Amino acid sequence: MRTKSIKSEVHRLVQAKPFRPFVLALENGQAVLVEHPENIAFDPTANGDDSHASEFYVLSQKLRVFSTFNAVTSVSLADKA
């Protein structure tokens, strides 16, 4: 259930107008900044609980992250610098 709500929140933030950068906190302690909606990729048509539906890929500066929504512990708006 947590995975589904995190995935839903990420989809909402990606589609927000205007877009606001956000951070995905992963269970390994890594924080992944999504600075633009084109910096995160996932299958928007994937439904159900199959393993491919929970995968995502983020390009953030020099960081490249491939993970699953299962590994995300929180989603928050990025602080303005």
pLDDT in tens, 13-72: 999 999 999 999 999 999 999 999 999 998 766 655 455 578 999 998 788 999 999 999
Query: What percent of the chain has pLDDT above 70?
Result: 85
**Residue with token string 């956000």:** 22
pLDDT of residue 36: 95
Cβ 10 vs Cβ 74: under 8 Å:
no
pLDDT of residue 66: 94
Domains parsed from the chain with CATH numbers? 2-77 (2.30.30.100)
End-to-end CA distance of the chain: 33
